[in-house]
């Protein structure tokens, strides 16, 4: 019997976080963002591990609304595997990226596609020996350079 991807520490996919500053006056994810997350969870591309709404007032005071407290019906139906990955200090540090008077969604997710590939490799006798993330800005700069030279 095989263990479902992501439930064995050897089968975890890459785990990333995003801090997305919301439009002015918005205190929750937009419908478009909710729809995208819901599709990505439903098709097993992503597993949401943590989802917070973090607010920062003009004095720098930080407020946090956890997933379970979010009233939006679109979020309540999500199949998520909530784990408290971010400590209070982490959230406060991330809040520094948010403009005063604004809110942001903080999302931690696992790429399940990579997890299932890792499991298949391990089951084939192979082993993952390195993993990394290339910053988006580096890729964008490279692509811009290719466009300039192409």
Determine the Cα angle at 11 with ends 140 and 111, to 5°.
30
Q: What CA–CA distance (Å, rounded) separates 118 from 27?
A: 37
The pLDDT of residue 1 is 29
Among 48, 50, 46, smallest CA distance to 65 is for 50
Domain boundaries defined on the chain: 9-125
pLDDT tens for each residue of 42-74: 899 999 999 999 999 999 899 999 888 876 656
Residues of the chain under the 70 pLDDT cut? 1-10, 71-74, 77, 79, 146-150
> Across-strand partners of 47?
110
Q: What CA–CA distance (Å, rounded) separates 91 from 82?
A: 16
The pLDDT of residue 3 is 38
The pLDDT of residue 142 is 80
Backbone angles phi and psi of 27, in degrees to 5? -120, 15
């Amino acid at each position: 019997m095989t263990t479902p991807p992501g439930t064995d520490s050897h089968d975890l996919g890459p785990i990333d976080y995003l801090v997305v500053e919301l439009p002015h006056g918005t205190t929750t994810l937009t419908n478009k963002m909710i729809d995208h997350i819901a599709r990505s969870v439903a098709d097993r591309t992503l597993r949401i591990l943590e989802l917070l709404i973090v607010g920062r007032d003009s004095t720098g005071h930080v407020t946090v609304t956890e997933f379970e407290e979010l009233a939006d019906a679109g979020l309540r139906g999500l199949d998520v595997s909530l784990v408290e990955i971010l400590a209070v200090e982490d959230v406060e540090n991330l809040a520094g990226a948010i403009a005063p008077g604004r809110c942001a969604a903080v999302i931690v997710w696992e790429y399940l596609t990579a997890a299932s590939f890792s499991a298949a490799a391990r089951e084939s006798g192979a082993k993952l020996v390195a993993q990394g993330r290339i910053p988006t800005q580096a890729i964008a700069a490279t692509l811009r350079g290719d466009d300039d030279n192409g």
